Amino acid sequence: MSEPHRRLPVPPLAPGSWLGLLGGGQLGRMFCMAAQSMGYKVCVLDPGEDSPAGSVADRHLRADYLDRDALATLGQLCRATTTEFENVPARALEFLAGHGVVSPAASSVAIAQDRIAEKRFVRDCGVAVAPYAEITEAGQLASLDATLLPGILKVARLGYDGKGQARVDDPASALAAFESFGRVPCVLEQRLELALEVSVIVARGFDGAMVSYPVAENLHRGGILAQSTVPARIDPALAAKARAATEAIAARLDYVGVLCVEFFVLADGRLLVNEMAPRPHNSGHYTIDACVTSQFEQQARVLAGLPLGSVQQHQPAVMLNLLGDCWFEPGATQPREPDWRHVLDHPRAKLHLYGKREPRPGRKMGHVTVLADTRDEALEVAGVIAARLG
C-alpha cells in the first residue's frame, strides 16, 4: 500500500483558506456550513442556478463539471478540493489533481461509480458480497445460474435511491428489465432474506489515520433511506465486524476522505456488503447533532490536512428523512409548508431543511434528528413526529 501522507503537497491549511467542492446538493451544503464554522471559505462548482450548496457557499461557479475554465478557476483559488456525490466525472478530479490536493482521489471514486468494479474490489478485500452475476449482454440472461433467481437487477452505473433497479423472478423478467435499462451493464444479485440493513461511516486522513462511527441501522422505503437508528440494534460482535470490514476496505482502497459502506444483515446472521459511497452519507446526518465531530467536519478536517476529530456519540439518535411527500396533503396537487411545530414541540428534536424551493414526492428536502437518553425513547418520539408529518 502506498504512503498517502507523501501525496499531501501542502501543510495543514489555515482558517481563511479556500476549499473547493464539486457538487451543489445538500451534502455539499452541510459540508460548506461545517467548513465555514472552522473559518474556511468554500467555492462550489455546480451547474445548478439555485443549488443547496451554492446558496451558502462563499463563491459559486455555475458551470458544467468538465468546463475547463471553471475547473482552472477552482484549481487556482482552492488548494484542496473534494466532492459531494460519487458520479462527478473522473476527468474533473484528474484535472484538479494537477493543481492541488483532491480528496477522494479519482481512482477511488472510479471504483465506487461502477457496481461491477466495486463488487470485484470488495471480494478482493476478503469481504463477502451477495451472490451475483455480471450482465453485459442479453444472451447471458438465458444461461443464468438458477440460484440467483429471484433476484434484483441493478444498473452498474448511475443508480441511486432505488433508481435503476428492478426485482426479477425469472429469465424473462430479467431480460425485460435489462431491455428497459437500455442494455447497459448490470449486476444481477440474488434476492436474500434480510434481517436488517446497516451502514458504517469512516474518515481517513492523508496520513492513514482512520476513525469509524457507530453502526447505523437503516430502514428504506421505495429504495430511499427513511430512517437511521444509531446505535444499531445488532450484536456488538457483529457491529465490530462491520466496522472492521469498512476500515479494511478504506485502507485497501487507499481512501482519503469520508467513506460509507452499506451492509445487508441476513436472517442467519451473515454480514454482506451492499455498496459503498465515496462521500458523506445520508445515514450519517445524525452525527451533526449526536457526535463530537460530524461527518462533514471530518470531511473538512481531512481536506485541510488537520487531525481527525472524535467520533464519540453523545446520545442515542434516530434520523428521519424529510421527503417532498410531506409537503402534499393526500390527493393534493399543490404543496403546502408542513407544520414544523410537530417537530419542534419535542425539545430534543433537531430540524434541518436544505433550502430547496420546489418540493417533489421522493425529493430529499431535509431531515430530523431525535436525541434521547435511550434508543427506545428516540424511536418512540421519532414515530410520533413521522406520524404527525404524514
pLDDT digit string, tens, across residues 346-377:
999 999 999 999 999 999 999 999 999 999 99
Whether the predicted pLDDT of 2 surpasses 70:
no
3-class DSSP state of 310: coil
Give me the pLDDT at residue 52, please: 97
Angle at 71 between CA 70 and CA 75, to 5 degrees: 120
Query: What is the torsional sign of CA 272, 278, 282, 283?
Result: positive
For the stretch 295-354, pLDDT in tens is 999 999 999 999 999 999 999 999 999 999 999 988 888 999 999 999 999 999 999 999
| pLDDT, the chain, mean | 94
Q: What is the pLDDT of residues 156-186, one digit of tens each?
A: 987 665 578 999 999 999 999 999 999 999 9
Decide if 350 contacts 314 (C-beta within 8 A).
no
Q: What's the CATH architecture for 131-190?
A: 2-Layer Sandwich (3.30)
Euclidean distance between CA atoms 103 and 257, whole angstroms: 6
Average pLDDT over residues 126-147: 92
Q: Evaluate the CA torsion angle 19, 23, 29, 30 in order and state its sign.
A: negative
Using pLDDT thresholds of 50, 70 and 90, give the confidence band for residue 142: confident
Same topology between domain 4-112 and domain 131-190 = no
> Which residues have CB under 8 Å from 223's CB, separation 6+?
161, 162, 163, 165
| Band of pLDDT at residue 90, cut at 50, 70 and 90 | confident
Amino acid 222: pLDDT: 87
Q: Residue 90: what residue type?
A: A
- Give the predicted TM-score (pTM) of the model: 0.94
Q: Are 290 and 235 in contact (CB under 8 A)?
A: no
Q: Which CATH number fits domain 4-112: 1.10.287.110, 3.40.50.12780, 3.40.50.2000, 3.40.50.20?
A: 3.40.50.20
The three three-digit cell numbers of residue 6, written as one number: 507523501
Most confident of 28-37, 78-87, 158-167: 28-37
**Which tens digits make up the pLDDT trace of 38-79?**
999 999 999 998 899 999 999 999 999 999 999 999 999 999
Neighbours of 332 (CB within 10 A): 9
Q: Which single residue is written with the C-alpha cell 471504483?
A: 111
Q: What residue ranges do the domains of the chain occupy?
A: 4-112, 131-190, 194-389
Q: Secondary structure of the chain: what % helix, strand, coil (to 5)? A: 35, 25, 40
Contacts of 387 (CB under 8 A, 6+ apart): none
Angle (CA) 127-260-196 rounded to 5° is 70
194-389 under CATH 3.30.470.20, yes or no: yes
Between CA 225 and CA 347 the distance in angstroms is 24
Can you list the alpha helix ranges (DSSP code H) found in the chain? 26-37, 68-77, 90-97, 106-112, 115-124, 171-180, 236-252, 287-290, 295-304, 341-344, 375-389
The answer to whether residue 8 scores a pLDDT higher than 60 is no
Chain segment 226-281, per-residue pLDDT in tens = 999 999 999 999 999 999 999 999 999 999 999 999 999 999 999 999 999 999 99
